[in-house]
Amino acid sequence: MVNAAAMTDVDRCESEPEAAWRVNALAPGLLAETCREIGATFVQISTDYVFAGTASRPYREDDPTDPRSVYGRTKREGEQRAQEAGAPALIVRTAWLFGPGRNFVRTILTAAARTLRGEGPALRVVEDQRGSPTWADHLALGLIGLVEAEALGTYHLANSGSATWWGLARAAVDAWGHPELPIEKVTTAEFPRPAPRPSWSVLDLGKARRAGVVLPSWQEGLRGYLRSADAPFAPAPTHAPGRFGRSPTGDRT
């Protein structure tokens, strides 16, 4: 059984901690108990937010956790409950996901489209947070690989490489076909939010690699996402910059 459900709106988790606890902490434990009763392996998807975000090297699975937000604390408790339920458990921490539905890349491209039409402000993106951008499709394939390898315990799984939010935004807009669009670099302090964001979310992927599971680079993941039906726009043709593809269906992370 794979539990990919979570309350992932980190700011909403701050204002609705009980709801976050039920979804992110209580539910994984109950599902893991069910797996124990039926003799199934339980797979729990977790997050880089279980760490403080103050490291200077990629986080390893055995590094101490120290979540700074309600989201991170409830996800860490979900890990613990899954591990303590008694079923064979695989905990997979990932980071900076983009794929179906609302996500950072979708938000940036939607905002970029508005700016290009003269309907929105210039783009400003945080440059002092660094993490491991990950395409959901690649993560799914990696999960299958870990399950087939009969991996148990805690693993980090993400696209290889790292980027800042500004770097990911710049790459997304460029790949969409608009390298001429300026994106201003700003600091986290200029965008105060209810939930603290880790300044460092890079995950060490060595353990998954030793299990035979290696995901492509985040740049390849980004290109795959932009070619998929989940992207808000098709990449602009190189001979016709400025023309839009599919209409957006959402604009929030």
How far apart CA 70 and CA 16 sit, in angstroms, is 9
pLDDT the model gives residue 232: 87
Residue-wise DSSP of 51-98: S-S--SSPBPTTSPP---SHHHHHHHHHHHHHHHSSS-EEEEEE-SEE
Query: How far is CA 160 from each of CA 72, 96, 126, rounded to the nearest angstrom?
Result: 22, 12, 21
Prediction pTM value: 0.90
> For 160-179, what is the mean pLDDT?
96
Confidence label for 167 from pLDDT (cuts 50, 70 and 90):
very high
Both structure tokens of 221: 């993941």
> For 68-92, what is the mean pLDDT?
97
Give the long-range contacts of residues 165-169, CB within 8 A, separation 24 or more.
165/104, 165/125, 165/126, 165/127, 165/129, 165/131, 166/125, 166/126, 166/127, 167/127, 168/96, 168/104, 168/105, 168/108, 168/133, 168/218, 168/222, 169/104, 169/108, 169/123, 169/125
Fold category of 2-227 in CATH: Rossmann fold (3.40.50)
pLDDT the model gives residue 108: 96
| pLDDT above 70 (res 245) | no
| pLDDT above 50 (res 240) | no
Percent of the chain topping pLDDT 70: 92
pLDDT the model gives residue 233: 79
Query: How far is CA 107 from each of CA 82, 231, 253, rounded to the nearest angstrom?
Result: 32, 10, 6
pLDDT the model gives residue 239: 39
DSSP annotation of 128? S
Active-site residue set: 71
